[in-house]
Structure 1
Amino acid sequence: MATNALEAIDVSKTYLSRQDQVTALAPISFRIPSGSFVSFVGASGCGKSTILSLVAGLISPTSGELRLFDEPIKRPSPRISYMLQQDCLLDWRTVSENITLGLSFRGQNNTKSASHARYLLGELGLSHTLNQYPSQLSGGMRQRVALVRTLAVQPELLLLDEPFSALDYQNKLHLEELLVNVLQGRKMTALLVTHDLEEAIALSDTILVMGGRPGVLRRIIEVPGEIRKASPLAARSQPAFRSLFNELWKEIETP
C-alpha cells in the first residue's frame, strides 16, 4: 500500500488564451501521507483551487507530475470525490435520489451502496429527510446532504473546496464536527482549501501555506498534537491554537 496518498513533483500551471497567458501556479512539490487531513491556506489568487482541480484530474499541469497512490493522475479518478462550496443538489430530485447521484454516475447504484448512503445520512442526523426535496431543507441541511453524496462513493481521497464557507458560524462548527466524526475510523485522506484559518487549524494534521502570484508553497506547518487530538470545537480553546492562528495570519499577510 502506498505510504503517500498524493505527491506533487514540480507541478506548475499556466492558463493560455488567444490574447494572454497567466501562470497560476509556480512549480511546487509536496507529499500528503495516506489517512491525513491537510489544508491549503493563503490569499485569494495564490493557486489553492487550481491545485484541487489538478488533483481531481479536471485540468492538466503545464509541467511536473501529480501522483495518486503512486500512479500518475491523467484524468478524473473514481478514488477521488470532490465537494464544492455550493451544494449543487438537484431540486427536482428527493434527498434519497440526490445522495445516490454520484453512485449512479459511476454505475455503482446497487442495493448495498444505496444502503450505505442512507446509513451516512443517518450518521449526519438526516434520515427523516429521505423523501424530502432540497427546497424543504435549510442551508446547513443541504450541505450535509451534499457531504453524504460526496462520501457515498467511498473515496480514498476527499477534496473539499471551501465547503462550509457559505454557512453561519454555528452551522460551520456543527458540520466540522460531523465531518471529523464521519472520517474517524475510515481510511480516507482529506484535502481542504479554505480561507478560514481557524477551520484549517481545527481540522488539519498539516497546513500548507500558499502565497504570491503565481502561487508558491511558502511553508508546511504541522499542527500540534494537542490540537489534532481535540474535536474541532474543543481545539479552538487549546493554548497553542491562538499562537498558531497568529503565526498563520502573519504569514498570509506578508506580501
Structure 2
Amino acid sequence: MSGHAAIEVRQASKTYLSKQDQVDALTAVSFRVMPREFVTLVGTSGCGKSTVLSMIAGLIFPTEGEVRLFHEPVRGPSRRIGYMLQQDCLLDWRTVEQNIALGLEIQGQKSDEMMKHARYLLNELGLGHTLYQYPSQLSGGMRQRVALVRTLAVQPDVLLLDEPFSALDYQNKLHLEMLVTRVLKQQGMPALLVTHDLEEALAVSDRILVMGGQPGTIRRTMEIPNDLRKANPLDARAHPLFRPLFQELWGEIDQ
C-alpha cells in the first residue's frame, strides 16, 4: 500500500510488569491505516485489541517498537485523535449542548465558530431538538450519538472507536453504524475500530486485521471487496458476498 499513513504501528510489543508477574500483551504488531481508510481490529478477548488503541492514543507506550501518527512518533495524547468508547461518559448534570462542548473546553478550543460546528453535527445526527435536554432524558442510542458529536466537535484528524456500539440494541447499532460511516466519508477521516462483532466489522470496514494469540499479534489481513465497501452497513449485510466472508472470518477467529 503506497503513500503516507495516518497511523503506523511498527513492530510494537507491550509487556506489563508488576511486583509478582510479567504479562506479554502484544508481540511484533505492525500495520498502517491510510488517509480516508476504515480499518477494524477483531479477535478473541485478551488478544490485545484495546491495548493497540491505547498505544495509538498515547495513553500507554510500547515496550518495543514504535507508533506514529501522521509520520510523527506518538509521545502522549494528541488533539489530532478522537477516541470514542463503549460507555458514552456523558455528564448527567450538563445539558446536551454543554456535553458536546466538553472536549472543546478541555482543549481550550471553545469558540462561537467551533460550537456552531458542534451544533451542526448534532443536527446532522438527528438530535438538534435535544440541545437543552439532559442525558437522563435520552435513549441509549441517542446518548451514544451525543458522545460521537462530542468526539467529532474537536475536529480530530483520526477517529479511534473501542466497541462504541456494543451496548446498543440491534436497530440502534445499525443506525449508528450508518451515521458513523456517513460522517467519516463526508469528512474524509481515517478510523480504527475495535469490535467483537464480526458482522459489524464486515459491514463498515475497508480492511479487517485479525488478531490472535497471547501475546497478541496480527494473524491475517482481510481486504474487503469494493462492492461491500461501497455499500452502506445495512445493504452490505444483504450482499451475496457477505455471508461467505463472514464464514471465512469466523474460521480465522475460531482457530
Q: TM-score range by the shorter chain?
A: over 0.9
Q: Which sections of structure 2, spanning at least 5 residues, go unmatched?
A: none
Runs of 4+ in structure 1 deviating by more than 2 angstroms, as ranges, are none
**Structure 2 counterpart SS, 1:183:** helix
Aligned partner letter, 2:27: A
Aligned partners of 2:30, 2:191: CA distance in 1, in Å?
Answer: 18
Please give the alpha-carbon distance, in whole angstroms, between the structure 2 residues aligned to 1:29 and 1:138: 39
Match of 2:115, SS state, is: helix
Partner deviation per Cα, 1:69-95 (whole Å, 9 max, x = no partner): 100001111100100000000000000
Which residue in the other structure is 1:213 paired with?
A: 214
State TM-score, norm by structure 2.
Answer: 0.98
* CA deviation string 1:203-225 (max 9, x = no partner): 00000000011101000111010
Corresponding residue of 2:189: 188
TM-score, normalised with respect to structure 1: 0.98
Which residue pairs with 1:110 in the alignment?
Answer: 111
The aligned residue for residue 161 of structure 1 is 162
In structure 2, C-alpha distance between the alignment counterparts of 1:30 and 1:237, rounded to whole Å: 30
Determine helix, strand or coil for the equivalent of 2:82.
strand
Task: Report the Cα distance in structure 2 between the residues aligned to 1:30 and 1:126, rounded to whole angstroms.
Answer: 36
The offset of 1:60, in angstroms, is: 0.7
Moved more, 180-189 or 142-151: 180-189
Query: Which residue is 2:37 aligned to?
Result: 36
Query: Which amino acid is the alignment partner of residue 116 of structure 1?
Result: H
Give the distance between the partners of 1:55 and 1:90, measured in 2 at CA: 26
Partner of 1:47: 48
Measured in 2, the distance between the counterparts of 1:178 and 1:31 equals: 24
The SS at the match of 2:160 is strand
How far apart are 1:185 and its partner, in Å?
A: 2.3
> 1:139 and 2:110 equivalent?
no
Q: What CA distance in whole angstroms lies between the structure 2 residues aligned with 1:115 and 1:146?
A: 17
Report the alpha carbon displacement of residue 110 of structure 1 after superposing the two structures with TM. Answer: 0.4
Deviation for aligned residue 1:187: 2.4
Tell me what 2:245 maps to. 244
2:88 alignment partner in structure 1 = 87
Is this contact kept in 1: 2:15–2:22, CA < 8 A? Answer: yes
Structure 2 equivalent of residue 231 of structure 1: 232
Q: Aligned partner of 1:24: which letter?
A: A
Matches of 2:139 and 2:86 in 1, distance apart? 15
Does the 8 Å contact 2:42/2:208 carry over to 1?
yes
Contact 2:36/2:185 (8 A) holds in 1: no
Cα drift, residue 119 of structure 1: 0.2
User: Partner letter of residue 110 of structure 2?
Assistant: N
> Alpha-carbon deviations, 1:35-63, whole Å to 9, x = none?
10000000000000000000000001000
Paired residues in the alignment total 253
CA RMSD of aligned residues (A): 0.7
Give 3-state SS (helix, strand or coil) of 1:52's partner. Answer: helix
List gaps (5 residues or longer) in structure 1. none
Overall identity of the aligned pairs, in %: 68
1:71 corresponds in structure 2 to 72
